[in-house]
Structure 1
Amino acid sequence: MKILRLALSVPVAALACTLVTAPAAASSVLFVDKSTVSPGEVVHVTARCPLAEGINHVGSPAFTATGHDGPYTGNGGVAVLTEHVGGVGSGHARIRTDAAPGTYPVVLRCGGGHAADVQLTVTG
């Protein structure tokens, strides 16, 4: 009961300031369903770019080349995004069968450039 009284005594303006956050649409999102994979394995990715920027690609040196790999040609590949709903793209990428064990970046590029990245560990 003491906690409830304390919470009720906090000025409403101060409480409102602590609850304000940036709108969800203003940030980018990059999600890979696995953080540790083996060569040849498939990962599923979900990405969203901020505001009205479109997704250029989600790429990694660990991904198998697809023939539409932009900056990853000869050095990895991009995820094949097959579903686009409400600014969110989702799809898959296969890990190169010759990927050496180690940690690789997975990078989301949006209309304005680099937007987000996560790390993916390939095991032997």
Structure 2
Amino acid sequence: MFEFNSKLNCTYLTEMYGDDTEMAQMMFEHFLNNSIPEWNTIIPLIEEQNLDAVLRLVHKNKPTFMMVGLSEIHDKIRNFEKDIRSGLSWNDIANRYEAISLEINSFSTIIQHEINRLSDFVES
């Protein structure tokens, strides 16, 4: 059985994907190729103070972090969304977004490495 990187929520990933490493690989690729770029489109919306669009994208992207075992970031995004809905100031929204984004970027290399490992595992 494939063992995920210990910096990810391995218990969740094993429960979610079991032996289906092809599905895991597909989700990790989707996350890296689609979810992260879409997350990065939020900053101009914050600058424009477009609350509806910010909330829509934050909410839309939130579950993808669980799908790759980033449960701590998922929880931060869930709280971020809740706080935005509760009237967080635009300055605080921008600061929290930046902090979360730095954390997401720090995991990009791990996600790419897991894609490579999953690919090798599927091919073996």
Q: Under a length normalisation based on structure 2, what TM-score does the superposition of the two structures give?
A: 0.23
- Of Structure 1 and Structure 2, which has the larger fraction of its residues in helix? 2
Q: Which has the higher strand share?
A: 1
Larger Rg: 1
Normalised TM-score (structure 1):
0.23
Higher relative contact order (CA 8 A, sep 6+): 2
